[in-house]
């Protein structure tokens, strides 16, 4: 029952897609700070390698940056092969890579639909499929492997912005999480999802010109998310403490979903 045992991720091997910045980097920081070996991926090789270097030095850990574009099946297979060449097993897969597109409903473009749906849903599924052999190798009844899919409260609530394909994609991520959880639990692979609310990121920052004050004023907690908020939840799901939690979509949003439809003034 000691905290250091209940929430330990020490010596776990973790793969986080889209890990060079934003929520992915925040989650990577949490695992790195607590003794895990962490692989992070991103399309920009320079950025992901610099982030991995910084995390390795900051937390005295082993963080490896991989340049990877998983928007295609070829890219997914290439990433899978790179990890398989380095590791015999994988304890935790965190499907975080995604994209968003905003436009009015009257002229929302097909490219904005396909790009977001492909990266957020299709790539999530097929990377999971390709990583199953490594996840199975690490899994047993007492210490199951984990898959954590990063959804969004935009897949639950009416979104703040006109991001139609993003909302639909994240709702699909949430349901796919439940479907995969039911399929894989008998293989000792536990699948859950996190639905974040507003966190500082390039994606959200661009939408609000990096001024988060209005979003903070609308949030029941009076702020946006911090690295500790999202990393702590991911560590819970990946640790002994979360080993009986399966198929859940857990909001991490300061109370936005819980307060939807209520007067917060």
Query: What mean pLDDT do residues 68-92 have?
Result: 97
Higher pLDDT, 207 or 215: 215
CB-based burial of residue 98 (10 Å sphere; 0-12 exposed, 13-18 middle, 19+ buried)? buried
Triad 222, 226, 227: Cα angle to 5°: 170
- Reading the block at residue 149, the tokens are 């899919």
State the pLDDT confidence band at 212, using cuts at 50, 70 and 90.
confident
Half-sphere exposure in the Cβ direction for 237 (13 Å, CA): 30
Q: What pLDDT sits at residue 237?
A: 98
Question: Residue 201 contacts by C-beta under 8 Å, 6 or more apart in sequence?
Answer: 21, 22, 23
Query: What mean pLDDT do residues 40-50 have?
Result: 95
How many CB atoms neighbour CB 182 within 10 A? 12
Which residues belong to the active site?
166
Instruction: Quick: pLDDT tens for 141-189.
Output: 999 999 999 999 999 998 888 899 999 999 999 999 999 999 999 999 9
Q: What pLDDT sits at residue 9?
A: 98
State the pLDDT confidence band at 205, using cuts at 50, 70 and 90.
low
Distance CA 157, CA 201 (A): 20
Distance CA 68, CA 41 (A): 6
Instruction: Quick: pLDDT tens for 12-31.
Output: 999 999 999 999 999 999 99
Query: What mean pLDDT do residues 43-66 have?
Result: 97
Query: What mean pLDDT do residues 237-259 have?
Result: 97
Main-chain dihedrals φ then ψ at residue 252, nearest 5 degrees: -135, 80
Q: What pLDDT sits at residue 55?
A: 98
3-state SS class at 195: strand
Is residue 263 scored above 60 in pLDDT? no
How many CB atoms neighbour CB 100 within 10 A? 23
State the pLDDT confidence band at 265, using cuts at 50, 70 and 90.
very low
Instruction: Quick: pLDDT tens for 99-152.
Output: 989 899 999 999 999 999 999 999 999 999 999 999 999 999 999 999 999 999
CATH of 3-255, picked from 3.30.70.260, 3.40.800.10, 3.30.1020.10, 3.40.50.720, is 3.40.50.720
Higher pLDDT, 160 or 68: 68
* For the chain, the helix, strand and coil percentages under 3-state DSSP, each to the nearest 5: 50, 15, 35
Mean pLDDT of the chain: 94
Distance CA 258, CA 30 (A): 26
- pTM of this prediction exceeds 0.75: yes
Is residue 71 scored above 70 in pLDDT? yes
Domain ranges across the chain: 3-255
């Amino acid at each position: 029952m000691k905290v250091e045992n209940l929430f330990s991720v020490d010596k776990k091997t973790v793969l986080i897609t889209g890990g060079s910045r934003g929520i992915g980097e925040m989650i990577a920081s949490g695992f790195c700070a607590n003794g895990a070996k962490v692989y992070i991926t991103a399309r920009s090789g320079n950025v992901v390698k610099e982030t991995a270097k910084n995390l390795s030095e900051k937390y005295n850990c082993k963080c490896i940056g991989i340049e990877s574009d998983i928007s295609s099946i070829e890219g997914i297979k290439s990433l899978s092969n790179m990890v398989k060449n380095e590791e015999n097993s994988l304890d935790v897969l965190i499907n975080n890579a995604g994209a968003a597109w905003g436009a009015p409903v009257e002229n929302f473009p097909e490219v904005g639909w396909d790009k977001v749906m492909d990266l957020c849903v299709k790539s999530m599924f097929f990377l999971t499929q390709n990583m199953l052999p490594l996840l199975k190798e690490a899994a047993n009844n007492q210490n199951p492997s984990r898959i954590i899919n990063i959804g969004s409260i935009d897949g639950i609530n009416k979104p703040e912005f006109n991001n139609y394909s993003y909302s639909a994609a994240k709702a699909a991520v949430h349901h796919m999480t439940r479907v995969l959880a039911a399929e894989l639990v008998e293989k000792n692979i536990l699948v859950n999802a996190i639905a974040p609310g507003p966190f500082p990121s390039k994606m959200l920052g661009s939408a609000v010109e990096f001024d988060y004050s209005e979003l903070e004023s609308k949030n029941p907690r009076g702020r946006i998310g911090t690295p500790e908020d999202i990393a702590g939840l991911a560590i819970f799901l990946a640790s002994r403490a979360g080993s009986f939690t399966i198929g859940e979509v857990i909001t991490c949003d300061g109370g936005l979903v819980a307060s939807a439809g209520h007067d917060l003034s």
